[in-house]
């Protein structure tokens, strides 16, 4: 077992993965309210100590032969599968998930490690034309210490997708997971990598709040910040990072649209749309937040989606604050004229899957990122209107277009600015070898996934020249 329930806290502290300057906090099961353990909350001095230690350990790690770094990541990928039962249990209990969601996170985590294991052997530069017969090259070198700040909703994936490639490329990492999911978003990653052979000092896991996050961003040892979270928090992270000349990669919120054209297979469209809105209680940045349906299919689409919502049993949202935010957006939209076709009620943290019909772009549940199991549905009459509605958002993360005419779908996607687009699918998709990121208020582009994006994110470019002899200069 990676962790024994009765002893995991002492392991957490004894290995230096967390510190308690900020006291401690409970890790709770949102489905039952049961306390699963307590985790130390890091403060600024803990972050400073971790960053110093990471900076001290990083050069030796970067200097290792590349097969040695790759071997650690490959072994980590195997270990996720070997310890799948224990990891799944923590994901289910910490995030209020169903078991298949845990299995999905484990599968992606393993693949992230396997993909990262291929990075150390990639070509790390290029030869450049140069004057005077000198050898000129551009080399990719490790950034040094990478700070990772990850959220609660898919804590394992949203941490490991930065931690694994950053380590593989020769960096050290300080990871600040959300304290509500500190085990599956931090401690388990540290334990897996320790068991895989990662040398001490290269990964520091420090659950914490805003003070720890700000300390990580401004620490002089930290050269790159990889942040996943809300757009409001991302704006603050980006501003603080810019002030301290720290490179920030921001994967932020979304209000993604599925566009159902008049030739769509309605059964498949409703099924895909329900998955896009209600998967993990809608607590996904890529969640389908707007359903734009051709007027000829609109009424039947709403009826079928509402029936499907009424038949679903979902898990809990993460906490009461998130539940209350969801409910306020739903009730405000109904007060503004939206029709409640399904849901709109809750019991404890269990919010019923909700369908809002006849929504307008100015209604709160349509215009905002709800981050809950809410499906606002609007209609359109032409492709021009569909493009205008889908593009009429500050967010630009994911897009789904459902049509029997694939080329028409591709042409429509070209008119809607997003970082991700899926023809004949909903908006929630993720693969470790694919670039991931959004535009506009959804972030700073593809900073995760795929070798090219990971190399760009976690290394610096260095120009190097070599001459056979020192040239003679005029003075």
Taking each helix axis as running N to C, give the angle between helix 99-117 and helix 84-95, from 0 to 180 degrees, rounded to the nearest 10.
120
What is the residue-wise DSSP string for 367-397?
Answer: HS---SSEEEEEEESSHHHHHHHHH-SSEES
251 is catalytic: yes
Q: For residue 445, count CB atoms less than 10 angstroms from its CB and return exposed for 0-12, middle for 13-18, buried for 19 or more.
A: middle
Q: Are 353 and 311 in contact (CB under 8 A)?
A: no
Cα distance between the two ends of the chain: 69
Q: Which helix (H) or strand (E) holds 439?
A: strand 439-440
What distances in angstroms separate CA 316 from CA 93, 94, 319, one per listed residue?
11, 11, 8
How far apart are the C-alpha atoms of 364 and 369, rounded to whole Å?
9
Residues across the chain: 475
Query: Annotated catalytic residue: which of 251, 388, 394, 456?
Result: 251
Nearest to 164 by CA among 446, 419, 55, 156: 156
How far apart are the C-alpha atoms of 160 and 4, rounded to whole Å?
22
Query: Annotated catalytic residue: which of 285, 295, 335, 385?
Result: 285
Name the E strands within 256-302: 256-260, 288-294
115 is catalytic: no
Which residues belong to the active site? 251, 285
């Amino acid at each position: 077992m990676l962790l024994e329930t009765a002893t995991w806290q002492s392991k957490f502290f004894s290995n230096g993965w967390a510190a308690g300057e900020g006291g401690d906090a409970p890790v709770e099961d949102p489905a039952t309210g049961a306390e699963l353990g307590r985790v130390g909350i890091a403060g600024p001095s803990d972050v400073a100590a971790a960053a110093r230690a990471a900076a001290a350990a990083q050069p030796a790690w970067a200097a290792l032969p590349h097969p040695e770094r790759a071997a650690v990541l490959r072994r980590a990928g195997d270990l996720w599968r070997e310890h799948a039962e224990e990891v799944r249990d923590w994901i289910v209990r910490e995030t209020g998930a169903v078991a298949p969601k845990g299995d999905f996170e484990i599968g992606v985590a393993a693949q992230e490690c396997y993909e990262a294991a291929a990075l150390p052997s990639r070509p790390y530069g290029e030869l450049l034309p140069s004057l005077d017969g000198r050898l000129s090259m551009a080399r990719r070198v490790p950034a040094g210490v990478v700070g990772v700040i990850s959220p609660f909703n898919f804590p394992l994936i949203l941490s490991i997708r930065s931690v694994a490639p950053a380590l593989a490329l020769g960096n050290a990492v300080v990871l600040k997971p959300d304290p509500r999911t500190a085990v599956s978003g931090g401690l388990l990653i540290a334990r897996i990598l320790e068991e895989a052979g990662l040398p001490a000092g290269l990964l520091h896991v420090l659950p914490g709040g805003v003070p720890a996050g700000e300390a990580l961003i401004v620490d002089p040892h930290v050269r790159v910040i990889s942040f996943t979270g809300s757009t409001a928090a991302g704006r603050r992270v980006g501003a603080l990072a810019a002030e301290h000349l720290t490179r920030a990669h921001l994967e932020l919120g979304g209000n993604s649209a599925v566009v159902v054209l008049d030739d769509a297979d309605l059964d498949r469209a409703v099924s895909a749309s329900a998955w896009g809105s209600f998967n993990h209680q809608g607590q996904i940045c890529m969640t389908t937040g707007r359903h734009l349906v051709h007027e000829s299919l609109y009424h039947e689409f709403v009826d079928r989606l509402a029936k499907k919502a009424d038949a679903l049993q979902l898990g809990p949202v993460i906490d009461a604050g998130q539940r209350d935010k969801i409910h306020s957006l739903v009730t405000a939209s109904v007060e503004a004229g939206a029709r409640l076709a399904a849901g709109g009620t809750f019991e404890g943290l269990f919010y019923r899957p909700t369908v809002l019909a006849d929504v307008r772009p100015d209604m709160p549940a349509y215009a905002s990122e709800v981050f809950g199991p809410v499906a606002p549905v609007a209609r359109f009459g032409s492709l021009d209107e569909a493009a205008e509605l889908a593009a009429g958002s500050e967010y630009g993360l994911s897009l789904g277009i459902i049509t029997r005419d694939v080329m028409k779908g591709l042409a429509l996607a070209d008119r809607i600015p997003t970082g991700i687009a899926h023809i004949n699918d909903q908006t929630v998709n993720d693969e470790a070898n694919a670039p991931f990121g959004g535009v506009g208020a959804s972030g700073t582009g593809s900073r995760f996934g795929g070798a090219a994006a990971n190399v760009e994110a976690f290394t610096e470019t260095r120009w190097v020249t070599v001459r056979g002899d020192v040239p003679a200069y005029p003075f």
